[in-house]
C-alpha cells in the first residue's frame, strides 16, 4: 500500500516537472552576475513555467566551456554569457540566435549605442548587454590631497607616472600603481593594448603585418614594465582584474587603471574599505586619445543549439530590462545597479546621486570607438582586442611574453621579438599573411 | 581426456574467446579510439573558432610544431622538470626510507604523516603552495623573510621552474619513500648483522648492501614516476599558467594551450602525437637502464 502511494507521489512530481521548462545559464562569477543569481527567485515568481539552473565559473574557465560547447554544437546551455569579442564572430558563424521580436516595453533604443553596435554583426543584434564598461583611472583622494596633487578630468601618462613615483610607499602599505599582469588576452593584454594604442601603436598594419617591434610598442611596454616593477605591488604577474580589485578595495594602491565596472564595488562601503576616498578620472592619454580606454560588454546570448529558445529569451529580456535595473537599485542599492547598458540608468536622478562615477563612465563608453582604436588606420575592429578568431591565441601568447619581460626573464627587445615571431607564425598559418 | 596438457590450459578455446570478446572490444574502443582520433585530427586544419577554414593539410601541423621555438622550449622544460623531480624524490625518498626503517617511538604515526602529501590533490597542493606559502604578500615564506629582515621573494615569478619542481617533489617524495621502504623490509637482517660482524661501518652497509638490494625497487620507482611526471599538468595550470614567459610551459601544458586556449585542435593533436613519441623514447631509455640494473642487482 505504501509503495503505491510513493509511486503515485513520484508520478505526480514527475508530471509537475514536465510542465516546467528548465533553462541552464552559464555565467561569470563577477559581483553583478552573483546579484543576478540572487535575484532569480523574483524571475521564477513572475514566470512560474520556467526554472533556472546556474553554472557560475571564473572568466577563463567559462570562456573555455562555452566556446567548446558552442563550437561542437553540444547544447549544454540555453543562455551564454559572452562579450563584445565573441558576439560578432559567433554571429557571423551562425552560432547564435538573432535577437528579434523583443517586446516593445524592452525599449531597444534605450541601449547605449556603441554597446549595441559592439554586440551586432552586419546590423543584426546577437546578444543583449547585461552590463557594459570602459576603463578609467581610480585614485585615492586622501593620498593625492596629502601631497597636494590634483587630478584633471583627463590626465596624461606623464602625470600618471609622476604620481606613481611620488605616492609609492611600500613600507606604509601603499603601492604607487596597480595594473594587471596576469597573462591572458582578456587579462593583462586588455589593459596593455589600450596603453599601446594611446602611445600610437597598433597590433597590425593595413596589410595584417604584426607591429610588435615598432618604436611605439617598445615605448609603451618599456613604460609599463618600469611602472609595475618599480611602483607596483610584488607578484604583479599573478594579478588580474579580481586581484587588483581586492588590492584597491583594501587600500593598498594609490592608483589603479581598469574596468569602470569596478566603480560600484569600490564606492560601496559594504565591499570597500576606501569607499569614501576613491576618486574617478578618465584613463590617461599619451600620444592620442584614441583607444586609451576600452569598450566591453558582458552580454547574454542564446546558442543555436538550445532547445528552449523562447524561455531563454524571456530570461535574458528580464535580466537586461529597465525593470531588472530598478529591482537591483531597490534591493541592493542604486550604486550596485548594472552600469553602462541603458541611457535611462544615467538619466535616473537616484542613480546619479548614488554613483559619483556615473558621468565618467558614460563619457568613457560613449567616446570609445572600436573602429578607430589608435592614431594610424588598422584592418580590424576592437579597442582592447582584435576582432578575429585568432586573437585569443595571439593575445594569450603575447601576454605570456610580456609577463616574461616583467619577471625579468627576457629583455624588452628580446621579449618583443619573440612575441612578434609568434604572432607572425599564427597569422601565416591562418592565411592572413603570405 | 582427464589431463589436458599444461600449455593448452591457458590458450583460448573458441567459445571462451566469444565470451571475452565484448570485454576486449570495449578495451580497444576505450584506449585506441581516442588515439586514432588524435592522429586523424593531427592531419587536419581544425580551429574551433573558424569553421570556414577546415580540411586536410597533410603534415602542416607537424611542420608548424617542429619549427616553433616554443615547442622545443616546452620539450626542454618537460625533460628538466621530470629529471629534477626524479633526482630529488629518489634521493630524498631513499634517505627518508632508511630513516623510517629504523625503530623509534611513534614510528607508525610519523610514517602516516610523511606519506600524507601524496594524498593531497594536485590542484589543491598547487593552490596551497601558491597562496599560503609562496605568495609574496600573504605567504608564509614572505612572513618568515620579513621577520628575518629580508625582502620577500616572489617565488613563482623569480624561480618559476624551481618552484614547480619543489611542489611536485613535495608531492612525489612520499611515493618514492613508500616503495623504497617496502623494498627495505624484504632485506634480511642476518645479512646486515653479518656485515657488521665483518666490520662494515654504516656507510659501507648502506653503499654495499642496502643500495644493491634496492636496485630493483629503485628501477620500479624511476619507471613509475617517469610515466606520471611526464603528464604533470595541474600544478602548472594552477600556479604559473606556464609562465612567466615560457619558463614553465611543458609539453602537456602546451597541448592544453593549443587546444583550449587557442582552440587549434589540429595543432594540439600534432603536439599530442609528439608527446606520445617523446614518452616512448624516454620509456626505451628507462627500460634499458632498468634492464641493466636488474642484471647488476643479481651479481
Q: For B178-194, what is each residue's pLDDT tens digit?
A: 999 999 888 888 888 88
pLDDT tens profile B229-247: 998 999 998 888 887 888 8
β pairing state of A21-28 and A79-82: parallel
Instruction: Considering only the beta carbons, identify the residue of A72, A89, A404 that sits closest to B245.
Output: A404
pLDDT (tens digit per residue) in A178-223: 999 988 888 899 999 999 999 999 999 999 999 999 999 999 999 9
- Quick check: A407 and B244 CB within 8 A? yes
CB pairs under 8 A between A and B: 102
B53 touching A (Cβ < 8 Å) = yes
> Is B246's CB within 8 Å of A183's CB?
no
- Cα–Cα dist A353/B295, whole Å: 84
Half-sphere exposure of B43 (CA within 13 A, CB side): 6
Mean pLDDT (chain A) is 91
Whole-number Å distance between alpha carbons of A321 and B266: 42
Highest mean pLDDT among A311-325, B53-67, B207-221: A311-325
Statement: residue B299 has pLDDT above 50: no
Mutate to test the interface with B, among A182, A304, A389 (most CBs of B within 10 A): A389
Return the residue in B243, B254, B256, B266 with the most chain A beta carbons within 10 A, the one to mutate for interface testing: B243
Q: Which residues pair with A279 in a beta bridge?
A: A139
For B52, the closest chain A residue by CA position comes to: A93
What gap in Å lies between CA B288 and CA B295, rounded to an integer?
Answer: 11
Nearest Cα residue in chain A from B256:
A64
Alpha-carbon distance of A185 to A406, in angstroms, equals 16
Report CB contact under 8 Å: B158, A408.
yes
Give, in order, the Cα–Cα distances in Å from A386 to each of A119, A146, A373, A382: 15, 41, 10, 5
Residue of B nearest to A86 (CA): B49
Distances (CA, A) of B223 to A87, A235, B168, B180, B182: 49, 37, 16, 13, 16
pLDDT for the residue numbered A294: 95
Average pLDDT over residues B169-181: 93
What pTM did the predictor assign? 0.81
Chain A residues within 8 Å of chain B (Cβ atoms): 64, 67-68, 71-72, 89, 93, 182-183, 233-238, 389-390, 392-393, 396-397, 400-401, 403-410, 415, 418, 421-422, 425, 429-431
Q: Are the C-beta atoms of residues B53 and B45 closer than 8 Å to each other? A: yes
Q: ipTM of this predicted complex?
A: 0.73
How far CA A383 is from CA of A201, A257, A260, B149, in Å, comes to 12, 16, 15, 45
Residue A404 has its nearest CB partner, among B48, B158, B244, at B244
Is there a contact between A403 and B263 if contact means CB atoms under 8 Å apart?
no
Q: Which residues contact B104 (CB under 8 A, 6 or more apart)?
A: B110
- A405's CB contacts (< 8 A; 6+ apart) are A221, A225, A411, A412, A415, A416, B245
Backbone phi and psi for residue B220, each to the nearest 5 degrees, phi listed first: -65, -45
Chain A CB contacts of B159 below 8 Å: none
| B123 CB within 8 Å of a chain A CB | no
Listing from the earlier edge strand, what are the strands of the sheet with A21-28? A50-57, A21-28, A79-82, A296-301, A128-133
pLDDT, tens digit, 9 for 90 and up, residues A359-400: 999 999 999 999 899 999 999 999 999 999 889 889 988 999
Q: B129-164 as b/e, with b when 16 or more CB fall inside 10 Å?
A: bbeebbbbeebebbeeeeeeeeebbbbbbebbbebb
Q: Above 60 in pLDDT, residue A16?
A: no
What residues of A are in contact with residue B245 (Cβ under 8 Å)? Answer: 400-401, 403-405, 407, 409-410, 415
Q: How far is the alpha carbon of A278 from chain B, nearest alpha carbon, in Å?
A: 23
The answer to whether B174 faces chain A, any CB pair under 8 Å, is no
Query: Can you name the residues that pair with A131 across neighbouring β-strands?
Result: A298
CB contact under 8 A, B157 and A238: yes
In the three-class reduction of DSSP (H, G, I as helix; E, B as strand; rest coil), residue A302 is classed as: coil
- Mean pLDDT along residues B198-214: 85
- The answer to whether B160 contacts chain A (CB < 8 Å) is yes
| Angstroms from B146 CA to nearest CA on chain A | 11
| A44 pLDDT tier (thresholds 50, 70, 90) | very high
pLDDT of amino acid B9:
53
B153, B262, B267, B268, best to mutate vs chain A, most A CBs in 10 Å: B262
**Residues A355 and A265: beta-carbon distance below 8 Å:** no
Separation between Cα atoms, residue B214 and residue B181, nearest integer Å = 9
CB atoms within 10 A of CB A151: 19
B264 contact residues in A (CB cutoff 8 A):
393
pLDDT at A8: 57
Q: Span A161-166, mean pLDDT?
A: 96
> Which residue of B136, B137, B154, B157 to mutate against A (max A Cβ within 10 Å)?
B157
- Please give the grid coordinates belonging to residue B95: 634517505
Amino acid at each position: 500500500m505504501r509503495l503505491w502511494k510513493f509511486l503515485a507521489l513520484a508520478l505526480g512530481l514527475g508530471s509537475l516537472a514536465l510542465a516546467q521548462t528548465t533553462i541552464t545559464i552559464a555565467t561569470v562569477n563577477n559581483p553583478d552576475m552573483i546579484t543576478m543569481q540572487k535575484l532569480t527567485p523574483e524571475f521564477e515568481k513572475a514566470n512560474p513555467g520556467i526554472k533556472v539552473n546556474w553554472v557560475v565559473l571564473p572568466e577563463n574557465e567559462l570562456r573555455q566551456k562555452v566556446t567548446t560547447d558552442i563550437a561542437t554544437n553540444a547544447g549544454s546551455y540555453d543562455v551564454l554569457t559572452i562579450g563584445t569579442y565573441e558576439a560578432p564572430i559567433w554571429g557571423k558563424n551562425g552560432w547564435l540566435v538573432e535577437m528579434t521580436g523583443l517586446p516593445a516595453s524592452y525599449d531597444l533604443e534605450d541601449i547605449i549605442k556603441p554597446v549595441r553596435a559592439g554586440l551586432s554583426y552586419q546590423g543584426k543584434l546577437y546578444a543583449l548587454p547585461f552590463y557594459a564598461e570602459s576603463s578609467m583611472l581610480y585614485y585615492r583622494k586622501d593620498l593625492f590631497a596629502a601631497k597636494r596633487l590634483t587630478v584633471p578630468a583627463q590626465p596624461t601618462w606623464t602625470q600618471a607616472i609622476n604620481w606613481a613615483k611620488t605616492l609609492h610607499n611600500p613600507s606604509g602599505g601603499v603601492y604607487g600603481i596597480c595594473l594587471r599582469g596576469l597573462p591572458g588576452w582578456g587579462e593583462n593584454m586588455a589593459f596593455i593594448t589600450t596603453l599601446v594604442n594611446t602611445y600610437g601603436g597598433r597590433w597590425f598594419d593595413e596589410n595584417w603585418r604584426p607591429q610588435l617591434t615598432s618604436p611605439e610598442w617598445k615605448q609603451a611596454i618599456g613604460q609599463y614594465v618600469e611602472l609595475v616593477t618599480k611602483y607596483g605591488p610584488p607578484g604583479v604577474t599573478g594579478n588580474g582584474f579580481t586581484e587588483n580589485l581586492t588590492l584597491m578595495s583594501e587600500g593598498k594602491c594609490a592608483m589603479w587603471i581598469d574596468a569602470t565596472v569596478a566603480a560600484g564595488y569600490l564606492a560601496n562601503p559594504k565591499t570597500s574599505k576606501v569607499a569614501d576616498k576613491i576618486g574617478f578620472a578618465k584613463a590617461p592619454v599619451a600620444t592620442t586619445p584614441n583607444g586609451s580606454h576600452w569598450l566591453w560588454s558582458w552580454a547574454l546570448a542564446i546558442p543555436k543549439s538550445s532547445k528552449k529558445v523562447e524561455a531563454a529569451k524571456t530570461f535574458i529580456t528580464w535580466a537586461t530590462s529597465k525593470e531588472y535595473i530598478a529591482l537591483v537599485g531597490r534591493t541592493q542599492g542604486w550604486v550596485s545597479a548594472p552600469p553602462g547598458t541603458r541611457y535611462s540608468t544615467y538619466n535616473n536622478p537616484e542613480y546619479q546621486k548614488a554613483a559619483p562615477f556615473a558621468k565618467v563612465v558614460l563619457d568613457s563608453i560613449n567616446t570609445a570607438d572600436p573602429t578607430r582604436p589608435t592614431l594610424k588606420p588598422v584592418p580590424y575592429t576592437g579597442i582592447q582586442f582584435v576582432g578575429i578568431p585568432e586573437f585569443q591565441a595571439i593575445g594569450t601568447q603575447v601576454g605570456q611574453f610580456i609577463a616574461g619581460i616583467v619577471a625579468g626573464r627576457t629583455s624588452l627587445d628580446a621579449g618583443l621579438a619573440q612575441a612578434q615571431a609568434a604572432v607572425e607564425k599564427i597569422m601565416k598559418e591562418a592565411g592572413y599573411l603570405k | 581426456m582427464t589431463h589436458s596438457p599444461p600449455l593448452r590450459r591457458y590458450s583460448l578455446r573458441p567459445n571462451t574467446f566469444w565470451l571475452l570478446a565484448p570485454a576486449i572490444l570495449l578495451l580497444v574502443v576505450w584506449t585506441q579510439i581516442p588515439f586514432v582520433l588524435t592522429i586523424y585530427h593531427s592531419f587536419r586544419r581544425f580551429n574551433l573558432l573558424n569553421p570556414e577554414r577546415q580540411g586536410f593539410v597533410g603534415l602542416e601541423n607537424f611542420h608548424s610544431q617542429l619549427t616553433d621555438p616554443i615547442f622545443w622550449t616546452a620539450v626542454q622544460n618537460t625533460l628538466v622538470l621530470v629529471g629534477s623531480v626524479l633526482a630529488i624524490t629518489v634521493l630524498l625518498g631513499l634517505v627518508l626510507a632508511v630513516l623510517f626503517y629504523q625503530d623509534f617511538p611513534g614510528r607508525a604515526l610519523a610514517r602516516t604523516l610523511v606519506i600524507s602529501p601524496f594524498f593531497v590533490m594536485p590542484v589543491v597542493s598547487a593552490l596551497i603552495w601558491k597562496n599560503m606559502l609562496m605568495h609574496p604578500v600573504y605567504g608564509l615564506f614572505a612572513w618568515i623573510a620579513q621577520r628575518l629582515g629580508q625582502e620577500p621573494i616572489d617565488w613563482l615569478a623569480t624561480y618559476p621552474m624551481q618552484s614547480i619542481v619543489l611542489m611536485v617533489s613535495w608531492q612525489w617524495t612520499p611515493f618514492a619513500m613508500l616503495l623504497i621502504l617496502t623494498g627495505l623490509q624484504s632485506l634480511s637482517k642476518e645479512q646486515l648483522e653479518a656485515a657488521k660482524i665483518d666490520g662494515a661501518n654504516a656507510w659501507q652497509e648502506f653503499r654495499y648492501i642496502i643500495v644493491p638490494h634496492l636496485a630493483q625497487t629503485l628501477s620500479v620507482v624511476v619507471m613509475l614516476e617517469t610515466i606520471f611526471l611526464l603528464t604533470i599538468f595541474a600544478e602548472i595550470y594552477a600556479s604559473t599558467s606556464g609562465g612567466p614567459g615560457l619558463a614553465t610551459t611543458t609539453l602537456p601544458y602546451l597541448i592544453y594551450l593549443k587546444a583550449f586556449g587557442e582552440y587549434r585542435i589540429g595543432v594540439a593533436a600534432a603536439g599530442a602525437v609528439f608527446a606520445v613519441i617523446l614518452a616512448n623514447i624516454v620509456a626505451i631509455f628507462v627500460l634499458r637502464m632498468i634492464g641493466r640494473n636488474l642484471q647488476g642487482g643479481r651479481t
